[in-house]
Amino acid sequence: MTAPSPTEGEQRRLLELKYNVTAWFYDILDYPWERQYRHWRPQLVGNLRGEVLEAGVGTGRNLRHYNSSVNLIAIDLCKAMVKIAKKRGGAAVCMLDCRQEDATKMASIPSNHFDWIISTFLCCVLPYNLQVLAIRQFERVLKSGGQIRLLDMVYSKIPQFRRRQDFFTPFVEKVYGARFDRNVLENLQESSRLRITNTYFLKKDVYQVIEGYLVD
C-alpha cells in the first residue's frame, strides 16, 4: 500500500518547519552558492520601480539592492526567516514592509496592487499544487500589465552538470525542500492571465530567470 500524498496544509507545515530550523544556519549553509548569487541579485531587482512584492524573501539577500523609489512588501512563510530578513532590511534604501505571509494565500496582500513580483528560489521549493496556488495569487495581486521576474533552478541537459545535480538532489531536497524538476516555466505557461515574455539562464542551463506580465 502506498502512503497517501500530503495535503496542502501538511506540505506548508513541512516547509515552515524545515525553514524554521534551517533559518538558524541558512546563511552559513548557503554561503558557497551565495558567493555566486550575490553577483546576480543587483541585476534582478536593481531596475525595478513602483510597488513591488518579493515572495519568499528568505534571509533578505535581495533587499539592499532595491532602488530607493521602490515601495516593497517582502513576505515569507517562515517567521524565523522574516526575523533575519527584517534585520538585513536595515541596509535597504527602499520603503520596506517585511512580513510573515504565505505566498500561496497572501491573505494580507491587496488585489490588483503591484507593478512587480519578484521571487528568487521560491517556486523550486513549492510542490506543484502549492505552486499553482502561488501563481493564482500572483495573478490576483498584480496590476494589469504588472510584471514578474522569477529565478529558479532547473535540471541541466549537460550530462556533467546533471550528474552533479543528481548527487546534490537528496541534500537540496532535505535541507531546502527544493527540487530541480519543479517545472516552473511549464506551470506558469498554464496560466491564462500571465504571458511569459522572456526566459534566460544566469549560469549554464541551470539557473533560469522567467519574466512575464499580467494581461487584462
Q: Which residues bind ligand SAM (CB under 6 A)?
A: 15, 19, 55-58, 61, 75-78, 81, 102-104, 120-122, 125, 176, 178
In the bound complex, what is the minimum distance in angstroms from residue 12's beta carbon to ligand SAM?
6
Quote the least distance from Cβ 135 to ligand SAM, whole Å.
12
Q: Give, in order, the Cα–Cα distances in Å from 171 to each of 75, 99, 129, 157.
A: 25, 28, 22, 20
Compute the distance between CA of residue 124 and CA of residue 171 in angstroms, rounded to an integer.
14
Q: How far apart are the first and last CA of the chain?
A: 47
**The three three-digit cell numbers of residue 180, written as one number:** 530541480
CB of 20 to ligand SAM, least distance (A): 8
CB of 151 to ligand SAM, least distance (A): 7
Per-residue cell: 208 = 533560469
| Residue nearest to ligand SAM according to CB distances in the complex | 58
Q: Residue 52 or residue 55: which is nearer to ligand SAM going by CB? A: 55
Spatial separation of the C-alpha atoms in residues 83 and 127, rounded to whole Å:
25
Residue linked to cell 504571458: 195
